[in-house]
Structure 1
Amino acid sequence: MLAELSIKNFAIIEALTISFEKGLTVLTGETGAGKSIIIDAIHLLAGARGSSEFVRYGEKRAELEGLFLLDDDHHPVYSKCEEFGIDVSDGMIVLRRDLSSSGKSICRINGKLVTLAILREIGQYLVDIHGQHDNQELMNADNHLSLLDQYGGQKVKQALEIYRDIFKNYDMLRKKITQLSDNEQEMAHRLDLLQFQLDEIESAELKPNEDVLLLEEKNQIANFEKVYDSLHNSYNALHGEHKGLDWVGHAMSNLEDVASINETLKGLSETISNAYYLLEDLSYQVRNELESLEFDPERLNFVESRLNEINHLKRKYGQTVEEILVYSAKIEEEIDTIQNRESHLDKLQKELQSILQDLSIEAKNVTSIRNNYAKILIEEIHRELKELYMEKTTFDVNFSSKMTAENELKYTASGIDEVEFYLSTNPGEPLKPLNKTASGGELSRIMLAMKSIFSQHQGITSIIFDEVDTGVSGRVAQAIAEKIYRVSIGSQVLCITHLPQVAAMADTHLYIAKQTKSGRTKTSVKPLADEEKIKEIGRMIAGVEVTELSKEHAKELLSLAHTSKG
């Protein structure tokens, strides 16, 4: 949910901080007070395009910031944030956007600078804004398939996962076949390039781990003098008259003379004897190592030359010798495939046909499950429309198959189905695509009917209705109010309204007002207490002058709303 919104120097708003609660929050006030400006600010925070016109006159920039709280640990926005390297802790996401008077925009999510595209992608999981003429998601046919899949839940998801596992192999084989079927000239050029690369690698006669071993050898040769001096000095310190071993030998002889006197002396004698023979053995090892040393400047030249050759290959084919050898095996396989492409094509085509049979079965299974849920959805939509006094409206889910240019079934990651919602608002009229059918008050009710169903499956934290109740009154207005409230039970709903019936259903009622101070217009937001709600709803009923009768009517509406909520 949207917990807090901060706005500074935005349109007619100088500075404003609004806290929002769960459930249904309505925003009311006179025309021009700034209600839609607040929604515009949220829209921009969610990634809508902005302009310098939003910056308050005389200021350098506008600042917008929104705090969203997530109750669900498995909310899809977590994985989306992880994809973009955005840290989300304690279930909080802060969106921030600064708009300069020059038209530039700076976007941040939890303090991390992001592009407008990333802000929009994250924002769509947090806020869903609907205006009377701005029902993009539901009205856009491109979204209808995913909406149906969301409605189908786990059964559709599981069927799609099985289908997509097969589709990956199908898609990979299809790409291989396409690549092999390219024209002769391209294939010849490709073969020449691969053969040149393979010859270059094979002529180097690389051995596994060769670069590591050569680097170690180069290091030893380069440090020959230092190693020689250290071994030579170590050996001389141990061997010779009046050297280390000579003095230890004297100590050993002296202790041997008195070792029989007591156990302590015997122990000391044995210890120093062991030390003497150990040092003597070590001195021989040092001498052998010293005698084996041989400085070979030609070997150093060879090692350096070999390393240069390997580094040249690394720049082209891999970061290690192992990677180069893996690449060599890969292109060798591709060369064989190209040289024998007819037989490979035949083999791949047979594999593709075999996979295609399984793919077709799983695609039809996905379609069947979608059709089943489409029927249930149609019944639910009709029930919702009936409650909104649109019982004569017919809703349908139109299925068609994706086709290739050759008029064959087209398999994609989402299956073979194309889905579009169709509608007829009057008996006798044919069903037409949703975006070409309804308008005005009808559109508002259709959108609400659909939203009341889909909002349960989408996981959107905040849904905003911007004057979707325009053009309705009476019993339809009451039905819309109850429908908006029902949506708010599963999602936080913010609603700008001119209908007293909707205002009466609110859990929180915010009054938006504007005033002129020092020659400038300012907007303020005030949460209304019970008595203030009665007065504001009375104003919405009666117009400018609030009478006792309108207050009584307002009380009656609030009482009915309380009863309706249960």
Structure 2
Amino acid sequence: MLVDISIKNYALIENQHLSFNEGFNILSGETGAGKSILIGAIGLLLGEKGEQEKIRTGAESASVIGTFTINSNKAAIQWLRDHDIECEDNNVIIKRVIKNSGRGSSYIQSEPVTVKDLQEFTGLIIDVHSQHSHQSLFNKDNHRKLLDRFGGCDDLAKRVTASYHNVNDLRTKYNDYLENQDEYKKKYEEQIRLIKDVEITDIGQDEERELTQERSILLRGEDIYRTVKNITDISTTKSDSLFGLSTVRQLMSKLVDIDQTFESLYNRYESSYYEIEDILENLKTINIGLDFSPERMEFVESRINSIHGILKKYGPTYDLMMENYNTAKQYTTEYKDSRHQQLELEQEISEAEEELGKIARLLSQKRKMAATELELQIVSNLKQLGMEKVEFKIEFSNKMGTTGKTLCGPLGYDVIEFMISTNIGEPLKSLKSVASGGELSRVMLALKSVLADSDDISTLIFDEIDTGIGGSVALALGKHLKELSKSKQVFSITHLATIASFAQKHIKIEKEVKLGHTYTKVRELVAEDRVEEVSRMLSGTSNDESAINHARKLILENSQ
């Protein structure tokens, strides 16, 4: 509940402190006295926009501080824990400051918070209904929200929303896959051709270089053969140079036997001799292995052309070709895996859709059960508020696709609308087309009253919801608010004396001019001051004796 509020330099309020009761608090005052200023100050605490124009003339800033008790409000306590804000003795102090510079600040328990945070937290502890907010009943989506709140369906609705988005994400992923499938398949086929070409050609890493060398040999094969043969022929005759070198080797060996100083020269000579001998043997082997056939030349040329073709297509170097080959192998593997993933994704979508339908059907069942009870309670409250002939129903319909199939949206299958008939014989119609402003205010009050028992919000503020009513309806409305205040802290800003007479605490807002400046003053009314104010609300003046007597009687009868 709202324990107290301190307002400084806000609009026409210079410095004001107010304390409030747990039960039924009435705020009244003449038109233009500043009732909207007080509501605006409370609105600041609730996270409404802080306008520089609201700062009192001559002041640099305006501030509003409110003390709230949250008691057993589990949602509010958990919110504070989630934001690492301590709460001592269930008391929470909220402060809001607006400055001429355009900058402002918000605090919960001296901890700076954002306006969004402020809105989130105060939305858990206080609920405001103004004379215009009943227009929200024209929005069918609000009907669904109110029903879910009453029936305790919010958590289940959140599960449906999460499941719906999961299905949508899976479908998007699947559609993206299908949309690019032709491109993926085309690339897959290209990669398969690359792999086959490279594997069929089967190029060795140094094969091109070796074949190029062989072709060079084949092109000058006969010259090479004759030259090598001449060299080897010379080495096989006794008169050739190798034979002479062998004779020299033998003679040098004798020199070593005579004198060891010749040994190093002999070793050098012997090493050179064996090297020359090995070279000659290799030349003989080359000649033996030479193939000068046209068939071999044709094969070498063909193979080199094949290698050049594949490298031109997938290279141009062997290493780059093999890199592209390995990349293609990886892509084809991933493509095959993706086909498998497609089947898994289809299965996942099917299971997710089944789960969504299951939760959504459960939500619909729970809503329909809650709707029956809500209808009964709303009708009961509306009859107490003077709408004796009222009929109120909650209509369910389904979203339909173009094929006639029922669709599940992010909030389930249901399209929910409140329907009302205010006179016997009149058919049920939408609230927008049937109810007057006064009737809508009572419908909203009936809803607020019913919902008050289904949440932990402890403070309800009604800003002139009595507009357009009077007489017995006003009396019924006052009784209803008084009854509601037994379980909730209720504020009502009213211009009706009948409703004001039910107050447990009556606060008057009035203007005062002092030293050429206008101020809005707020004070609690007790005893005869309260009688005078109710009298003024009855007759327009506080001096009418009959009005004073009537006011005293109303207060006596209704404030018990």
Pair 80,158 (structure 1): closer, same or farther in 2 beyond 3 Å: closer
Given that 1:36 and 1:496 are in contact with CA atoms closer than 8 Å, whether structure 2 keeps it comes out as: no
Written as runs of structure 1 = structure 2, the 5 A alignment for 1:6-85 is 6-74=6-74, 76-85=75-84
Written as runs of structure 1 = structure 2, the 5 A alignment for 1:161-172 is none
The alignment partner of 1:489 has SS state of coil
Q: CA deviation at 1:467?
A: 1.1
Pair 411,340 (structure 1): closer, same or farther in 2 beyond 3 Å: farther
Higher-Rg member (1/2): 2
Pair 35,138 (structure 1): closer, same or farther in 2 beyond 3 Å: same
1:212 aligned partner? none
Written as runs of structure 1 = structure 2, the 5 A alignment for 1:349-360 is 349-360=346-357
1:395 aligned partner? 392
Given that 1:96 and 1:107 are in contact with CA atoms closer than 8 Å, whether structure 2 keeps it comes out as: yes
CA distance in 2, matches of 1:57, 1:540: 31
Given that 1:510 and 1:528 are in contact with CA atoms closer than 8 Å, whether structure 2 keeps it comes out as: yes
Pair 115,531 (structure 1): closer, same or farther in 2 beyond 3 Å: same
Which of these residues, 540, 546, 549, is aligned with residue 543 of structure 1?
540
2:495 aligned partner? 498
1:110 aligned partner? 109
The alignment partner of 1:125 has SS state of coil
**Cα RMSD (Å) of the superposition?**
3.3
Q: Percent identity, please.
A: 36
Aligned residues: 419
Does 1:527 find its partner at 2:524? yes
* One-letter amino acid of the structure 1 residue matched with residue 90 of structure 2: G
- Specify every segment of 5 or more residues in structure 1 that has no aligned partner in the other structure, as ranges: 192-332
2:89 aligned partner? 90
The alignment partner of 2:469 has SS state of coil
CA distance in 2, matches of 1:190, 1:539: 87
**CA-to-partner distance for each residue in 1:316-355, whole Å, 9 max, x for gaps?**
xxxxxxxxxxxxxxxxx99977643333222332343345
Q: CA deviation at 1:66?
A: 1.4
Does 1:423 find its partner at 2:416? no
Q: Normalized against structure 1, the TM-score is what? A: 0.66
* One-letter amino acid of the structure 1 residue matched with residue 483 of structure 2: R
Q: CA deviation at 1:378?
A: 1.2
Pair 96,183 (structure 1): closer, same or farther in 2 beyond 3 Å: farther
Given that 1:381 and 1:449 are in contact with CA atoms closer than 8 Å, whether structure 2 keeps it comes out as: yes
Pair 73,479 (structure 1): closer, same or farther in 2 beyond 3 Å: closer
Pair 16,339 (structure 1): closer, same or farther in 2 beyond 3 Å: farther
The alignment partner of 1:340 has SS state of helix
CA distance in 1, matches of 2:537, 2:186: 77
CA distance in 2, matches of 1:541, 1:189: 86
Q: CA deviation at 1:406?
A: 7.4
Pair 157,450 (structure 1): closer, same or farther in 2 beyond 3 Å: closer
CA distance in 2, matches of 1:354, 1:524: 65
**CA-to-partner distance for each residue in 1:160-198, whole Å, 9 max, x for gaps?**
68868976875675465355445248979999xxxxxxx
CA distance in 2, matches of 1:26, 1:179: 61
Pair 178,453 (structure 1): closer, same or farther in 2 beyond 3 Å: same
- Specify every segment of 5 or more residues in structure 2 that has no aligned partner in the other structure, as ranges: 189-329
2:479 aligned partner? 482
* One-letter amino acid of the structure 1 residue matched with residue 67 of structure 2: L
Does 1:454 find its partner at 2:451? yes
Given that 2:542 and 2:548 are in contact with CA atoms closer than 8 Å, whether structure 1 keeps it comes out as: no
Pair 10,140 (structure 1): closer, same or farther in 2 beyond 3 Å: farther
Given that 1:128 and 1:463 are in contact with CA atoms closer than 8 Å, whether structure 2 keeps it comes out as: yes
* One-letter amino acid of the structure 2 residue matched with residue 534 of structure 1: V
**CA-to-partner distance for each residue in 1:435-475, whole Å, 9 max, x for gaps?**
55434322222221221111222322321111111222111
Written as runs of structure 1 = structure 2, the 5 A alignment for 1:299-448 is 339-402=336-399, 409-411=406-408, 414-426=411-423, 431-435=428-432, 437-448=434-445
Pair 556,401 (structure 1): closer, same or farther in 2 beyond 3 Å: same
Pair 184,457 (structure 1): closer, same or farther in 2 beyond 3 Å: same
CA distance in 2, matches of 1:464, 1:135: 13
Given that 1:73 and 1:91 are in contact with CA atoms closer than 8 Å, whether structure 2 keeps it comes out as: no
CA distance in 1, matches of 2:42, 2:494: 17
The alignment partner of 2:558 has SS state of helix
* One-letter amino acid of the structure 2 residue matched with residue 462 of structure 1: T
CA distance in 1, matches of 2:167, 2:388: 46
CA distance in 2, matches of 1:140, 1:161: 20
Q: CA deviation at 1:19?
A: 1.0
**CA-to-partner distance for each residue in 1:296-321, whole Å, 9 max, x for gaps?**
xxxxxxxxxxxxxxxxxxxxxxxxxx
Q: CA deviation at 1:403?
A: 5.3
Pair 448,162 (structure 1): closer, same or farther in 2 beyond 3 Å: closer
